[in-house]
Every structure is written in structure tokens, then in C-alpha cells.
Structure 1
Amino acid sequence: MDREWSGLVLSGFSAGLDIGFGPLLMAVFLTLSEGGYGDIGTELLLASAYAVGFIFVIIGRSELFTEHTTLAVMPVLDGQATLRELGRLWGLVYVGNIVGGAAFTALVVTMFPSLGVADPEAFGTIAHKLVDHDLDWLFVAGILAGWLMGLLAWLITAAQETVSRLLIIWLVTASIGILHLPHSIAGNVEVLFGVFVSPEVSVLDYAKFLSLATLGNAVGGGVFVGLLKYGHVTRGGG
């Protein structure tokens, strides 16, 4: 919270770029795989690919909005920071994440047709997994995704070795991937790919997804992890 605004934005932008490698690898694996969604082998492969972007971001110590929905809430609950400072942190990191993801998407869409490693249909298929739901589902599933990301932020603080941190990141984020839960930052890239390459995914679909996933993620991480963990730790006795 004490970091200057430009550092937060740049770190958030870097995270938005790096996390895009997860959805990109998903499209490549979906293109190369003989199976598809619903096939257990393909689902596990895509979930593991999804986790790659989070590994790059978290091990690389870039700022990710969905981690701060838990971590940055705790100093506010403890009276060491204000809601204004929390809003500043969330806002700067979130904008950096979204703009970074959009830049990554634009770069990939521009250069990837010449590389030929992923079919455009694969990007559309991945996007439809997130937008082909009603608004209630997006919000509730977004809470679950934020809850899991909050748990990840909580567990990472207890992991001392790189291998254990990698395992925790993979376990939690692959779970988000295989459940097809809407993570606002990774999903930003997934759905934007669909907007660029699939006429069936509209800008309105993107706006609905991003707003509800973001709100759900904030509630899941802030309430179901940040508030509850802080509550039971401060009431631990002794």
C-alpha cells in the first residue's frame, strides 16, 4: 500500500501480460489434443496449462488483483490501513492487470496466424466456456474463484520452498481451470481472445463477464478468506 502508483501499475501490467500465457497454452493444447472439453485427459491438460500463467505471476512476484482481495483487506481490518488506501491499491493493480492482458491478447492475435500453432476456433471455444452462462452464475462462480484465489494467497505465505509454492499454485489454479470458474484477470484474456476471433462473442459479453467476475472475485477473496481468516486468527487465544 505504500508503493508509489507507477510501481503498482507497472507490476500489475506485467502480471496481466504474464498471465496470458495460460490461456494461450490452453488454446495450443486444445488444438493439438484429439479430445475436447468433457474428456478427462484433455480437461486435466488444459487445467495444468491454465495454471502456468499464475505460476509466472506469483513466483515472479508481480501484483495480481485477486491476491490483494485477501491480503490487502487484512491491514484494513487490523486498523493499519484505510479503505481509501485499499481502493487505491485495488484500482491501480486492477487497471494494470486488465491493460496488460489486453496488450497480450492484441499481440497474440496479431502474430499468431502466421505461427499456426493454435486454431482460432480454440480461442472461441475457451471464451464460450466463460460467457455461455447467465449473470447469476457468473457472480456466484466468481465468488468461488475469488475464494480459491484468497486461499492461494493465504497458503503461499506459509510455503517456504519453491517446490511447495509451485505445487500449491498448481493445485489451486488448476482447480479453478477444471471447474471453469470465472477469474477476472485470466478470464480477461480468455474472453478477449473470443471477442477478437469469434463473431459469437460480443463486447457486451465481455463487459458482463468482466464486471460480474470482478465483483464475485472481490467478495470471495475479501469475505470468505480475508474476513474469516482474520477473524479466527485474532480470536485464537493466548
Structure 2
Amino acid sequence: MTTDGGEGADDSESTSGRDSPESTPPDEDQTQSTEPYEDRAEKSYREILAQELERGVLELNRPRAGIFLSGLSAGLDIGFGPLLMAAILATPTTGLSPVLLDLITSSAYAVGFIFVVVGQSDLFTEHTTLAIIPVLDGSASWSELLRVWGLIYSSNLIGATAFAALAVLLGPAYDVVTADAFTTLATPLLEFSWWATLLAATLAGWLMGLLTWLVSASRSTISALVSVWLVALVIGYMHLPHSIAGTVEVLFGLFGGRGVSVLDFGRFLLLSTVGNIVGGTVFVGLLKYGHATQGGREQGGDTDNPETQS
């Protein structure tokens, strides 16, 4: 009887497998449930926060040389956006409306951000939000935060300065950029009062902080890329001061344009840096962390508690 029962069970299982061609083996089903992220429910605030916290802690614990080189790469790569903008401005655009031209150049501005963010290099304005979250959570100290900020900020500036110098040397010689284009690119970042520049830089930092949150919320590289493009488009179209990409633009005017002084650059760098820090830390880091940890409305079904994801 026992033998017959076992054979019956085996036959039943094999028959069930043949009769259900749409059934999926357990291993394959598990693989499919974890790979196509876009088919799963959207992430909850707590899940996004957990991912931001994990990324921030990993960054704070990286070797200094690795952080510096990644920041240097970001400072260099982000320059391709302003360079493409200058090349477009140097190209005859007869028949294009000013609004359409601004949209085209703003999309070009996004190229550098896509290279940096999707390429996962360290950009200072991302870390005004990303690196502050472990400090708020008690997982890192303020001294660790300042160390990472200092390394990324200085390496970003070195990379941005080197790219600007190279572009000013090569662009006119290669006949793709003119001195007037360099000046046109730098002027909107320098012509406003100190308080307007500071507040505009705060908006830019706010947007960059939102970008880190959106990238963590993304289920695919495509959705992350779209987020980067949208945020960079807004910053570029409104000429909001970004301390690193803006450094490339202002140095274009200083090195190869007309009417931009060292004092102008120093003023821009100070105001844009302070505003970017305030926007990223206060309007995104503090608010998003508080919302996620103080019982904010959750979405995403069973993904509300990232500790259950295993």
C-alpha cells in the first residue's frame, strides 16, 4: 500500500506538471520575481530610505583614494554637458525660437549628469543628501561626513577645472566653440544679486537631493536615466547655480571668454556651494528622513518593511 501510494503521488506530480504547461519551476520563478523590478510594486518610503542609508554608509566607509578618484572622474565627466551647450550656442540657430533653443541646450546640459549619475561617480551635490542620512540615523559621525564631503568636493573641483582648461584650449582650435559662446554660458550664473544666487543654488541643491531619492526609487536603469534627465533639464533651463557643473561654465568664461574675473568665480563658488548644501541637506535629507521614520504614508504593499525583503 505504501509503495502504491508513493507511485500514485509520483504519477500525480508528473501528470500535474504535464497538464500545466504554464507552471514555472520554483527556481525559475524565484529568479523572475527578483529580476524584472519594473513589474513589482513601487518602493515604499522606508525601502527607499533603507537603500539611501546603505549607499551612504558604504560611501562613508570607502578608502580615501577611492573616493577621491571617483570624485575626480565626476568632475571631469560632468564637463561634457556644458561643453555641448557651448557648442550648440556657437552653432547658427536661425529660425529656432529662444524657448526651443533653451530646451535643446538644457537637454545637452543633462548629458554630463547622466554620465556621472548612471556611471556611479561621486558628485558633491548628490552627497549633500546621501551622506547626511547615515549621520541622521546615528550610523556615522559628523567628522566622517565632513571627511567625505571634503574629498568629493575638492576632487570634483579639480576635475571640473581641468576639464574647463582643456575645453577652452581645444574647443576654439577645433572650431566647435567660440569665446562668445563661453561668455554666453557663464553670464547667467553671475548677473544676479547674492541673495538671489544663494536661493537659486538652494533650489539646485534641493533638486539634486531629490535626484538621489528618485534614483534609489527607480526599478531600472531607464527610469533612473529619465530622472537624471528631468532634474538636469530643470536646473539647466532655469540656470540654477550648480557648484560643480557651474564651475565648468564660469571657468569657461574666465579662461576663454570675456568679462569674467577671478572675483566673479569666487563669489559664484561660495554662494552656489552654500546654497547646494542647504537645499540637499534640509529640504531633502532632513525632510525625507523625518517623513520615512515618523510613520509617513506607505505604499508598495509588502515592501513597506525592507527588513522582510530577503
TM class, shorter-length = over 0.9
1:54 to 105, 109, 113: 113
Alpha carbons of 1:224 and 1:35: their partners in 2 closer, same or farther (altered >3 Å)?
A: farther
Match in the other structure for 2:213: 154
Q: Answer yes or no: is 1:139 the counterpart of 2:198.
A: yes
In structure 1, the residue matched to 2:184 is 125
Q: How far, CA to CA, are the matches of 2:159 and 2:281 in structure 1? A: 23
Work out whether residues 171 and 178 of structure 2, in 8 Å CA contact, stay in contact via their aligned partners in 1: no
Runs of 4+ in 1 over 4 A off after TM superposition: 35-38
Within 2, Cα distance between the matches of 1:36 and 1:132? 27
> Deviation digits for residues 205-226 of structure 1, max 9, x if unmatched?
0000001100000000000000
Letter in 1 for 2:218: A
Structure 1 residue 119 displacement after superposition: 1.4
**Structure-1-length-normalised TM-score:** 0.97
The one of 94, 104, 107 equivalent to 2:166 is: 107
Aligned residues of 1:152 and 1:172 also touching (Cα < 8 A): yes
Are the structure 2 counterparts of residues 36 and 143 from structure 1 closer, same or farther at C-alpha, using a change threshold of 3 Å? farther
- Percent identity over the alignment is 56
The Cα of 1:35 is off from its aligned counterpart by 5.8
Aligned to 1:12: 71
In the superposition, relative to structure 1, how do residues 173 and 89 fare at CA in structure 2: closer, same or farther (>3 Å)? same
> Which of 262, 269, 294 does residue 210 from structure 1 map onto?
269
2:137 is equivalent to residue 71 of structure 1: no
What are the superposed Cα offsets for residues 163-207 of structure 1, whole Å, 9 maximum, x if unpaired?
111111001111000011000000010000000122311000000
Residues of 1 paired with 2:294 and 2:234: CA distance?
30
Q: Deviations over 1:26-72 (max 9, x none)?
A: 00111114269981110000100000000000011000000000011
Structure 2 counterpart SS, 1:7:
helix
Q: Map residues 81-92 of structure 1 onto 2, 5 A cutoff.
A: 81-92=140-151
Indicate the residue corresponding to 2:99 in structure 1.
Answer: 40
SS of the residue 1:227 aligns to: helix
User: 1:185 is matched with which residue: 244, 258, 266?
Assistant: 244
Give the superposed CA RMSD.
Answer: 1.5
Q: Is the Cα–Cα contact under 8 Å of residues 66 and 150 in structure 1 kept in the other structure?
A: yes
Shift of the 36–128 alpha-carbon distance from structure 1 to 2, 3 Å rule, reads: farther
Alignment check: 8 A CA contact 1:37 1:43 kept: no
Q: Which runs of 5+ in 2 are unaligned?
A: 1-59, 297-304, 306-310
Code of the residue aligned with 1:58 in structure 2: it is V
- Which residue, 277, 285, 289 being the options, matches 1:226? 285
1:21 aligns with 2:80: yes
Residues 10 and 161 (structure 1 numbering): CA distance in 2 closer, same or farther, change over 3 Å?
same
In structure 2, what is the Cα distance between the partners aligned to 1:37 and 1:145?
27
The alignment partner of 1:157 has SS state of helix
Q: Tell me if structure 2 keeps the 8 A contact 1:30–1:36.
A: no
Structure with bigger gyration radius: 2
Gap change, CA 1:37 and 1:217, over 3 Å in 2: farther
Inter-CA distance 38–84: structure 2 relative to 1 (3 Å threshold) = farther
Q: How many residues align?
A: 238
C-alpha distance 64-71 of structure 1, shift in aligned 2 (>3 A): same
Whether the 8 Å CA contact 1:36–1:42 is kept in 2: the answer is no
- In structure 1, list runs of 5 or more residues that go unmatched: none
